[in-house]
Chain A
Amino acid sequence: MDVHASLRGVTRIYPARAGRPPLHALGPLDLDLRRGEFLSVVGPSGCGKSTLLDVVAGLALPSAGTVTFEGQPVLGRVPEGIGVVFQEDASFPWLTVEDNVAFGLRRAGTDPAEVRRRVDYALGFMGLADFARAYPAQLSGGMRQRVCIARTLVLRPRLILLDEPFGALDQQTRLLMGDELLRLWRETGATVMLITHALDEANLLSDRIGVMSARPGVWIETVQTGWPRDRDSTLAARPNFGAVSARLWASIRGESIKALGQAREGAGR
């Protein structure tokens, strides 16, 4: 097995802050991301999914355990070759859409003609060609999220981490964007880790789905979907599609109830 990134015994505890005790958000957990695989992570709200993404990307240091990417330890800096699309809107409001998308390429000193070519392609790909000169403030939330996806993809990362990238999109666009993401994944051979709370989406897109417990998040199950590499949203019509979704829901239901309880307790304080 060709391991692209791996976590060993990783936990993350947010330190105490003004009037708040320390918070154990994640782990301990292990993870091996295989090169070229499409892994989804599902889990109840607040279980530490975004925290997991931060740790894998090198945006946060684990409180215990180790992280490696392409054989090198990840030590509080983001290694070259990782691209991240965040849960929140991360478009730069002071740049036009095309300048947003070109941002990383220009910082990396890419040749202007090449920047132009890749940006135009990405804008077309993401359905943003007509808005190249617009500022993010003029776009809808879903379009801004697409700007962020394009900005990440033009850099051709070998490992793509996506945190609820389709959260702001309507269901139809969501399905179409999922298909595009699958196509891109096949064409580039990148490894993808997708965080989502939509069980069907995880089912549709992934080779493998990790199900997390309520906080502190640990794996409670890993589900292999067994879908062919060449797939798209028509998968949903297959008879065993429902079975996978049902299995995911069965394993996550209890945890979601627990997470809701945690939230109520937090509110009660």
Chain B
Amino acid sequence: MADGASALAAAERQDRLEAWGGVALTVLSLAALWQGLHYLAGDSAIASLPATLRETWHLLSGPRYWPHFRETMSAFLWALLIAVTGGVGIGVALGGHRLSGEVAEPVLVALYSIPKVTLYPVVLLFFGIGLNAKIAFGALHGVIPVAIFAMNAVRNVNPTWLRTAATMNLGPLQTARHILVPATIPEIFSGLRIGLSLTLLGVMIGELFASQRGIGHLLMTSIEVHDVRRIMAVVLIVSVLAVTLNALMLAIDRRLHRRV
């Protein structure tokens, strides 16, 4: 139906327009909130938006601060890799084996809820000061939500689908490829999205102490010398990075979930 297809296209266009308009409005409101807080609390508490933007440009334009960003990014990527592979591995194993899952679930949930910052001294004692400690700390934050989501994803695979696969004489590999993966990917991906944010936070908290490089270190030194502009600039950079990554993953997430 030609008119149906064009109506659908028009609806989709309209939809996209609305989505972008909403995002633009949100950004504007956040900017307004920021400026409002600036007028309310003054320069010593929160730098004005233009001053922050200037500082952000200063941080990003010359190579002087790049090592900090590079350091954080590489720690983040390593931590993410560990959190994702570890989390998915643990989650799939626990989801596939009922009793193990029952044994482990409350432990996972309890681990998720503890203030992991208290474990920082322990991590430092084991990994020493440096990149490894940050990676470990980031992975520690990200791995558990990924594992919890993956476990639930595997648990929620409809047994009838597996029986259907059996009636079609699918082997274990084919069953995994055609049933398990498509059935669990959307939920696992949601876990990754949450794990990603927490991993980034974990890495930065890891950099706060006992590190000479990285965004977290930059933040801590700025807090120590009370350089409010720089604090805000770093927060802005991290937030933009996190929101962009998350929006991308959210778009993929929506697409994956639309099918189920």
Contact = CB atoms under 8 A, between A and B. Distances in A.
A19 B8 contact: yes
15 contacts: A16-B11, A16-B15, A18-B15, A19-B8, A19-B12, A19-B15, A20-B8, A21-B4, A21-B7, A21-B8, A21-B10, A21-B11, A22-B7, A265-B1, A269-B8
Contacts of B4: 21, 269
Nearest to A265: B1
Nearest to B18: A18
Contacts of B14: 16
Interface of A: 16, 18-22, 265, 269
B15 to A, nearest CB: 6
A22 B15 CA distance: 12
Task: Tell me if B's interface is mostly helix, strand, loop or mixed.
Answer: helix
Contacts of B11: 16, 19-22
The 9 closest A-B pairs by CB, nearest first: A21-B7, A16-B11, A21-B11, A21-B8, A19-B12, A18-B15, A19-B15, A20-B11, A19-B11
A20 B4 CA distance: 10
Interface string B1-28: 1001001101110110000000000000
B12 to A, nearest CB: 5
A2 to B, nearest CB: 43
A21 B11 CA distance: 6
B216 to A, nearest CB: 38
Nearest to B258: A19
Interface in B92-116: none
B7 to A, nearest CB: 4
A22 B10 CA distance: 11
A175 B67 CA distance: 79
Given A16-B15, A19-B11, A22-B7, 15 more contacts: A16-B11, A16-B14, A19-B8, A19-B12, A20-B8, A20-B11, A21-B4, A21-B7, A21-B8, A21-B10, A21-B11, A22-B11, A265-B1, A269-B4, A269-B8
